[in-house]
Structure 1
């Protein structure tokens, strides 16, 4: 079965929510941000919080812009090394999602030092370090605190040419949507916590969540790519809606084409669904049009929080083959066309149906 931590309590037993399922619900987050006071913004700030994009971007000169982001969360798995790998991969993903090349990271570490052995904490940090080595960047510093729940993540920074920045808000009517990774991580993590996840499901989850989205910079250089983001805690529906809101359009999702991680539908039918899925739907469900025969399980998959999920590309139709080719070059064999962009309608997201087998 799935490897557990032999030198202390299960990591997932110490967290009230794991991975990107820890995110504050979208409806609550909107209220929080609405109450904040806007500050004057310098012209060099090319991307801020206005469209809930993946990272901030600050122009340094005519050929370089700095991309900065941070992401951290509680354990989604019990193996400390794998938890570190997943958290680091997830944090760096936002740099790739802006079309940038990572250059360095800072570690964010909060640990219950009286509960977890120092050797376990060390393995978490080793896992993050291994991913940064794979991305070709150093962990140049960070900050640690004594925390009630284990928390790990990174501040990640990268560089991109200002002309190659890809926002989540620049989709165009007529664009085709391509998804780089299968979904279902939240379902698998819920099954793991209930000790219902088989070994092959566990390996699929680890493989999916520790695969760096290295295709981002190459995708960003394609003129036909108009918008780019990654799928994380708000689920596929939530991040499609962010794209739709930013571009003032409607996105149409062909549900039958959405790739799923192996076994997730059966596990969802057995009740392995995260609480974040329901909170996501509560936050944005009024903006989604579903087919009449769309099941509650499929709705849970549509809103399932992804940890270190795939890139979502909005591109011109004549660039689809190039986009799929770049994904394939980077080892994303499940990348597929999942929908397209239409003129703005009543709903930001329209799901076309026919239940998946």
Structure 2
């Protein structure tokens, strides 16, 4: 893969691996006063992917933002990944991107042309999403960080939330897991160029294309898989009211991520996720590498949706026909002792 200007040292804790752990974050958010308004359809108290504000009977606005440190050395590619990730929350809510604003942290003594490459990569993804890039804000910082504040639109009655799955629903994931492990391993020269390119393709593919198909089907819940890993985001989906069974033989993942995990090339974010979820997950497999893939923080990960069983195969077929590597990975069941069972 050709790279333009080099960002220098690779920040292996970049991307969504830099996210504050779910345990610490929930303790802080629980102490904040809730915003009460008939206009606020979805707020931060719901742990959903974005806020949704009703403007009229026909229109609601989706509001989100996301930014993080670098996880690749190519600034243009970093801009693409960070923008794709930030735009994803709008698609997870079932909406369309309206506009975006840049969020920039950049060292005062670094070549300003590098920042130009980052912004170019990001702007191209906003354009691909059909959104308008309308400005932004920048500050000096010790390390480069980039992302977007994004506004989307949706009909108030068509909002997809992340916690309304039903017993009997089938779980479908639209992108392979393991990108956190791969980017970390690549930064120290311990994975292949082919595996890295596979991760890059996943991280720079907008969830727009999957979302456009998903919202034509009777899905009950949708979320995007990012820093909390698939298991963390699945617990949000189950909302403490249901359980889920995941079949590892059906999981899509980057093949070399399994080898890397087996050789303990893992992420700090994955360990935070493991610690937080320890009492929520039951592993009925003896496979440490697979556990790490399931805990792995995903940067610009896929959409995880629940859909009634009788509609699952048609949704999967439509996604696959659009060259989206979606797979059925499990099902939602009645509450059990643990929230998630891995088989």
* TM, length-normalised to structure 1: 0.92
What is the 5 A alignment of 1:136-215? 136-214=130-208, 215=210
* Partner of residue 270 from structure 1, selected from 263, 277, 283: 263
Q: How far is the alpha carbon of 1:320 from its aligned partner?
A: 0.9
* Partner of residue 99 from structure 1, selected from 72, 78, 94: 94
Q: 1:143 to 1:326 in 2, by over 3 A?
A: farther
Counterpart-to-counterpart distance in 2, 1:304 and 1:21: 8
* Partner of residue 257 from structure 1, selected from 246, 250, 263: 250
* Partner of residue 321 from structure 1, selected from 305, 313, 323: 313
Residue in structure 1 matched with residue 70 of structure 2 by the alignment: 75
Partners of 1:8 and 1:117 within 8 A in 2:
no
Tell me the SS of whatever aligns to 1:54: coil
Residue in structure 2 matched with residue 349 of structure 1 by the alignment: 340
Tell me the SS of whatever aligns to 2:164: coil
Q: How far is the alpha carbon of 1:328 from its aligned partner?
A: 2.8
What is the 5 A alignment of 1:1-357? 3=2, 6=5, 9-10=8-9, 12=10, 15=11, 17-36=13-32, 38-114=33-109, 116-214=110-208, 215-222=210-217, 224-245=218-239, 248-291=241-284, 293-332=285-324, 334-352=325-343
Structure 2, unaligned stretches of length 5 or more?
none
Q: Deviations over 1:184-215 (max 9, x none)?
A: 00110111221223211121111000000112
Q: How far is the alpha carbon of 1:5 from its aligned partner?
A: 5.7
Counterpart-to-counterpart distance in 1, 2:154 and 2:318: 18
Task: Please give the root-mean-square deviation of Cα atoms over the aligned residues, in Å.
Answer: 1.5
Partners of 1:176 and 1:316 within 8 A in 2:
yes
Tell me the SS of whatever aligns to 1:242: helix
Q: Deviations over 1:96-148 (max 9, x none)?
A: 0000011110110001121x211111100000011111111121111000011
Residue in structure 2 matched with residue 355 of structure 1 by the alignment: none
Q: 1:8 to 1:50 in 2, by over 3 A?
A: closer
Counterpart-to-counterpart distance in 1, 2:115 and 2:55: 37
Residue correspondences, number: 342
Q: 1:117 to 1:40 in 2, by over 3 A?
A: closer
Counterpart-to-counterpart distance in 2, 1:80 and 1:40: 38
Counterpart-to-counterpart distance in 1, 2:278 and 2:60: 36
Q: How far is the alpha carbon of 1:3 from its aligned partner?
A: 4.8
Comparing 74-83 with 27-36, which one deviates more in the overlay?
Answer: 27-36
Q: How far is the alpha carbon of 1:26 from its aligned partner?
A: 1.2
Counterpart-to-counterpart distance in 1, 2:121 and 2:249: 35
Tell me the SS of whatever aligns to 2:243: strand
Counterpart-to-counterpart distance in 1, 2:18 and 2:333: 32
Partners of 1:204 and 1:262 within 8 A in 2:
no
Q: Deviations over 1:309-332 (max 9, x none)?
A: 000110011111232133235431
